[in-house]
Amino acid sequence: MSDLRRILRFISPYKKEIAFATVFLGMVVFADLSIPRFIQVIIDNGVAKQDMDVILQT
């Protein structure tokens, strides 16, 4: 437990940077995970139904 407190002492001046990095990391993960969903929409609504408008719009 004392090791954890010791580490927290070094981290505490960088609270804003750590919060920013955590939020930014969450946004990047969300963006990376949304790409397959967009591809699914293109395939299901565009390619499977042979609708070029859906493919071109997305």
Q: What does the pLDDT look like over 2-49, one tens digit per residue?
A: 889 988 899 999 999 999 999 999 999 999 999 999 888 888 887 877
Delimit the domains of the chain by residue range.
2-57
Residue-level pLDDT at 23: 98
Please state, in angstroms and rounded to a whole number, the distance separating the CA atoms of residues 1 and 41: 49
Buried/exposed code over 23-48 (b: 16+ C-beta within 10 A; e: otherwise): eeeeeeeeeeeeeeeeeeebeeebee
Residue 48 DSSP label = T
SS3 21: helix
Q: Is the pLDDT of residue 1 over 80?
A: no
pLDDT at position 14 is 94
Q: What is the pLDDT of residue 35?
A: 94
